[in-house]
């Protein structure tokens, strides 16, 4: 640790956002609290599509591999909302710290392989102008190697309505031809990153377009899975 970092740590001591114990610089959560986020990894399964409870809840026929940090519930649900709508940086850093820890663990497993490219579900232009940033890119950019990112693979048609206020049937109809791509992805493994998987219809519509463009494998990497009982 350099002298400047030491001085900052002394002047502005950081505390865990959950248990308030002192932290090392650049951390938002202590090791003990980080270790509690194991609801989706407690069975040792690195592909959540192989879990029966996840299979029952999400229809992802065009997705081959699913990674998520946890179910959509506090504190992650609060951090995601506070970052998305109030731009609170500590919320982004806490989520990114947990994601980085999970991917460090996954990358050491025997069956893990990094994709050729990681891309993002594009916001509609009006949403991007209104919000001013794509929160998904910010959540993930500290987690993944920069060389993996290509945020310009998918295009979104402007007539598509935002999904958040639609039920499952309306979401599927809304997404019929929502995405397109100009890229050729012959034999590539592409990961789609996102914040919350609600019904799976958005990511699956994007995955279908990637497969039609030649992708041999599509992974979905999200922060949270929404339990079915909370989706209309």
3-state helix, strand, coil in the chain (%, to 5): 40, 15, 45
Max intra-chain CA distance, the chain: 57
Compute and round to an integer the Cα radius of gyration of the chain.
Answer: 18
The nearer residue to Zn ion, 36 or 107, going by C-beta atoms, is 36
The nearer residue to Zn ion, 33 or 68, going by C-beta atoms, is 33
Task: With contacts defined by CB under 5 A, name the span among 32-40, 182-190, 195-203, 219-227 that binds Zn ion.
Answer: 32-40
Assigned token pair, 125: 């232009």
> Could you give the count of Cα atoms lying within 13 Å of 177 in the half-sphere of its Cβ?
1
- 19 is a site residue for Zn ion (CB under 5 A): yes
Please identify which residue in 30, 48, 166, 224 interacts with Zn ion, judged by CB under 5 A.
30
- 33 is a site residue for Zn ion (CB under 5 A): yes
Minimum distance of Zn ion from residue 32's CB (angstroms): 5
Which residue carries 């663990």 as its tokens?
Answer: 105
Task: With contacts defined by CB under 5 A, name the span among 8-16, 68-76, 84-92, 199-207 that binds Zn ion.
Answer: 8-16
The nearer residue to Zn ion, 69 or 210, going by C-beta atoms, is 69
What Å distances lie between residue 52 and 36, 56, 93, 168, 227, CA to CA? Answer: 22, 6, 31, 20, 13
| Site size with Zn ion, rule: CB under 5 A | 5
Kindly list the residues in this chain that would bind Zn ion in the complex (CB under 5 A).
16, 18-19, 30, 33
């Amino acid at each position: 640790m350099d002298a400047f970092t030491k001085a900052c740590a002394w002047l502005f001591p950081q505390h865990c956002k959950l248990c308030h114990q002192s932290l090392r610089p650049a951390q938002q959560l202590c090791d003990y609290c980080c270790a509690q986020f194991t609801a989706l990894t407690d069975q040792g399964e690195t592909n959540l599509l192989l879990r029966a409870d996840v299979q029952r809840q999400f229809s992802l026929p065009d997705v081959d591999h699913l990674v998520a940090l946890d179910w959509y519930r506090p504190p992650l649900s609060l951090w995601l909302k506070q970052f998305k709508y109030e731009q609170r940086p500590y919320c982004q850093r806490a989520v990114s710290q947990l994601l980085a820890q999970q991917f460090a663990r996954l990358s050491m497993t025997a069956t893990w392989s990094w994709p050729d490219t990681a891309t993002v579900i594009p916001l509609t232009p009006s949403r991007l102008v209104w919000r001013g940033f794509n929160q998904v890119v910010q959540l993930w950019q500290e987690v993944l190697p920069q060389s993996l990112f290509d945020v310009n693979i998918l295009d979104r048609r402007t007539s598509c309505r935002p999904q958040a206020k639609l039920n499952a049937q309306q979401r599927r109809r809304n997404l019929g031809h929502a995405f397109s791509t100009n890229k050729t992805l012959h034999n590539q493994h592409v990961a789609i990153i996102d914040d919350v998987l609600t019904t799976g219809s958005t990511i699956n519509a994007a995955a279908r377009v990637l497969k039609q463009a030649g992708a041999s494998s599509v992974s979905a990497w999200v922060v949270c899975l929404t339990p079915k009982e909370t989706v209309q």
